[in-house]
Structure 1
Amino acid sequence: MSKTVTEPNPQRWKALTFIAIAQLMVVLDATIVNIALPSAQADLEISNGNRQWVITAYALAFGGLLLFGGRIADLWGRKNTFVTGLLGFAGASALGGAATEPWMMFGARALQGVFGALLAPAALSILAVMFTESKERAKAFGIYGAIAGGGGAVGLILGGVLTEYLNWRWTFFVNIPFAIVAAVGAFAVIHESEGARNRSPLDIPGVLLSTTGLVSLVYGFTRAESEGWSDGGTIGMFVASAVLLAAFVLVESKVRAPLLPLRVLLDRNRGGIYLSMGLAVIGMFGLFLFLTYYLQVVKGYSPVKSGLAFLPMVTGMIVGSTQIGARLMTRVPARLLMGPGFLAAAVAMLMLTQLELDSSYPALILPAQLLLGLGMGTAFMPAMSLATTGIDPRDAGVASAMVNTSQQVGGAIGTALLNTIAASATTTYLDDHMAQAGASEQGARLVQLQGMVEGYTSAIWWAVGILATASLVAFTFITAGGGKTGPAVASGGKDAEEEPVLVAMH
Structure 2
Amino acid sequence: MKRIRKSRSHPAQLPRARGANHRWLALGLVCLVQFMVILDIAIVTLALPSIKTALGFSETGLQWVISAYTLTFGGLLLLGGRAGDLLGRRRVLIAGVALFTGASLVCGLASSSGMLIAARAVEGIGAAIIAPATLAIVSTTFPDGAERNKAMGIFFAMGGLGPAVGVLAGGLLTSGPGWEWIFFINLPIGVLALLLAPRLLVESRAELGHRRFDATGALLGTAGLSLLVYAVVSTNTHHWGSATTIGLLAGAGVLLAAFLAIEARSRYALMPLGFFRNLTVSGANAVGLMLGTSIFAMFFFLSLYMQQVLHYSATTAGLAFLVVALLVALFSGVGQAAVTRIGVKPVLAVGMALIAASQLWFGRLPVGGSYGVDILPGFLVVAAGLGLAFVSVGIAGLAGVRERDAGLASGLINASQQIGGAIGIAITSTVAAARSTHLIRTGHALDHALTSGFHVAFLVSAAFAAAGVVLALAMVGRVAAPAIEAAPVAETA
Q: TM-score, normalised by structure 1?
A: 0.91
1:207-229 deviations in whole A, cap 9, x for unaligned? 11111111111011111123211
User: Which residue among 45, 48, 53 is the counterpart of 2:56?
Assistant: 45
Q: How far did residue 195 of structure 1 move? A: 6.0
Q: Once structures 1 and 2 are overlaid, which stretch shifts more, 229-238 or 244-253?
A: 229-238
Contact in 1 for aligned 2:206/2:488 (Cα 8 Å): no
User: Which residue among 462, 465, 471 is the counterpart of 2:463?
Assistant: 465
Counterpart of 2:295, as a letter, is: M
Give the 4+ runs in structure 1 shifted more than 4 A: 193-198, 499-503
For the pair 1:3 / 2:38, whether they are aligned, the reply is no
Q: How far did residue 9 of structure 1 move? A: 3.1
For the pair 1:261 / 2:272, whether they are aligned, the reply is yes
User: Which residue among 440, 448, 452 is the counterpart of 1:430?
Assistant: 440
Counterpart of 1:462, as a letter, is: V
1:194-241 deviations in whole A, cap 9, x for unaligned? 665773411111111111111111011111123211222111111101
State how far apart, in whole Å, the 1-side matches of 2:452 and 2:338 are: 39
Counterpart of 1:115, as a letter, is: G
State how far apart, in whole Å, the 2-side matches of 1:272 and 1:214 are: 19
State how far apart, in whole Å, the 1-side matches of 2:367 and 2:47 are: 25
Cα 1:154–1:197, aligned 2, differ >3 Å: closer, same or farther?
farther
Q: How far did residue 384 of structure 1 move? A: 0.9
State how far apart, in whole Å, the 2-side matches of 1:30 and 1:362 are: 27
For the pair 1:330 / 2:340, whether they are aligned, the reply is yes
Q: How far did residue 2 of structure 1 move? A: 4.8
Q: How far did residue 98 of structure 1 move? A: 1.1
State how far apart, in whole Å, the 2-side matches of 1:502 and 1:357 are: 59
User: Which residue among 219, 232, 240 is the counterpart of 1:221?
Assistant: 232
Counterpart of 1:496, as a letter, is: E
Equivalence map 1:152-231=2 (5 Å): 152-193=163-204, 199-231=210-242
User: Which residue among 284, 298, 308 is the counterpart of 1:297?
Assistant: 308
Flag structure 1 segments of 5+ consecutive residues without an equivalent. Answer: 435-446, 489-494
State how far apart, in whole Å, the 1-side matches of 2:91 and 2:214 are: 20
Counterpart of 1:309, as a letter, is: A
| Secondary structure class of the residue paired with 2:342 | coil
Q: How far did residue 499 of structure 1 move? A: 7.2
Contact in 2 for aligned 1:41/1:51 (Cα 8 Å): yes
Q: How far did residue 428 of structure 1 move? A: 2.4
State how far apart, in whole Å, the 1-side matches of 2:377 and 2:198 are: 42
Cα 1:332–1:432, aligned 2, differ >3 Å: closer, same or farther?
same
State how far apart, in whole Å, the 1-side matches of 2:474 and 2:366 are: 36
For the pair 1:387 / 2:376, whether they are aligned, the reply is no
Structure 2 residue aligned with 1:478: 476
Aligned length: 482
For the pair 1:411 / 2:400, whether they are aligned, the reply is no
Counterpart of 2:385, as a letter, is: G
1:233-268 deviations in whole A, cap 9, x for unaligned? 111111101111111111111100111111223320
For the pair 1:59 / 2:48, whether they are aligned, the reply is no
Contact in 2 for aligned 1:4/1:500 (Cα 8 Å): no
| Secondary structure class of the residue paired with 1:100 | coil
1:139-177 deviations in whole A, cap 9, x for unaligned? 111111111122011111111111111011111111111
For the pair 1:127 / 2:116, whether they are aligned, the reply is no
User: Which residue among 82, 85, 99 is the counterpart of 1:71?
Assistant: 82
Counterpart of 1:397, as a letter, is: G
Flag structure 2 segments of 5+ consecutive residues without an equivalent. Answer: 1-8
For the pair 1:345 / 2:355, whether they are aligned, the reply is yes
For the pair 1:145 / 2:156, whether they are aligned, the reply is yes
Identity across matched positions, percent: 35
| Secondary structure class of the residue paired with 2:340 | coil
Counterpart of 1:192, as a letter, is: E
Cα 1:47–1:426, aligned 2, differ >3 Å: closer, same or farther?
closer
Q: How far did residue 433 of structure 1 move? A: 4.0
User: Which residue among 254, 276, 288 is the counterpart of 1:277?
Assistant: 288
Contact in 1 for aligned 2:404/2:487 (Cα 8 Å): no
Contact in 1 for aligned 2:46/2:303 (Cα 8 Å): no
State how far apart, in whole Å, the 1-side matches of 2:107 and 2:361 are: 39
Structure 1 residue aligned with 2:5: none
1:406-426 deviations in whole A, cap 9, x for unaligned? 011001001100111111111
Q: How far did residue 137 of structure 1 move? A: 1.1
| Secondary structure class of the residue paired with 2:60 | coil
| Secondary structure class of the residue paired with 2:193 | helix
Structure 1 residue aligned with 2:115: 104
Cα 1:5–1:96, aligned 2, differ >3 Å: closer, same or farther?
same
User: Which residue among 80, 95, 107 is the counterpart of 2:106?
Assistant: 95
State how far apart, in whole Å, the 2-side matches of 1:487 and 1:145 are: 13
Structure 2 residue aligned with 1:373: 383
Cα 1:239–1:146, aligned 2, differ >3 Å: closer, same or farther?
same
Contact in 2 for aligned 1:121/1:404 (Cα 8 Å): yes
Structure 2 residue aligned with 1:361: 371
Counterpart of 1:103, as a letter, is: G
Structure 2 residue aligned with 1:498: 487
State how far apart, in whole Å, the 1-side matches of 2:451 and 2:247 are: 32
Cα 1:375–1:49, aligned 2, differ >3 Å: closer, same or farther?
closer
Cα 1:9–1:50, aligned 2, differ >3 Å: closer, same or farther?
same
Q: TM-score, normalised by structure 2?
A: 0.94
State how far apart, in whole Å, the 2-side matches of 1:100 and 1:395 are: 42
